Amino acid sequence: MQDHRTETAYWALRITFGVIPIVAGLDKFTNLLTNWEAYLSPVAVRLLPVSPHAFMMLVGVVEIIVGIGVLSGHARVFGWIAGAWLLGIALNLLTTGHFLDVAARDVALAVSAFALAELAPAHERASVRAAKAPTPAEVHA
């Protein structure tokens, strides 16, 4: 039997890492929340094979995909991707010499995303088992 506390933690993290990346990803196309290009380090800008604007559009698409992946019940994979993504963002921010508070928060968020990925197998497997009706072969086994 699953612990109610881990179920609550799993769902809190799943909703957070589902909704927030989708919102941030969509905002890469509008810049209503912030000018996302301002967070790119000069090192990253020099290394990019595309313009900073085009890169942010790609980032937005990736974030939307990660959010959808988490919300659709695949946090065991997309939790790890979200965590790695957030560590990459933190590394980029560290190389700017600015936004160090945001970099620290992104590291904390990455740890939370990794926790989601660790919680997900137990909770996602349970929800799949609960939703799946047994096949005739399973009934007679």
Structural domain spans, the chain:
4-124
Indicate the pTM of the whole model: 0.83
Residue 56 has pLDDT above 70, yes or no: yes
What confidence score (pLDDT) does residue 128 get?
Answer: 46
What confidence score (pLDDT) does residue 129 get?
Answer: 46
Confidence of residue 59 (pLDDT cuts 50, 70, 90): very high
Cβ atoms of residues 68 and 23 within 8 Å: no
- Helix 4-27 with 75-96: angle, nearest 10 deg: 50
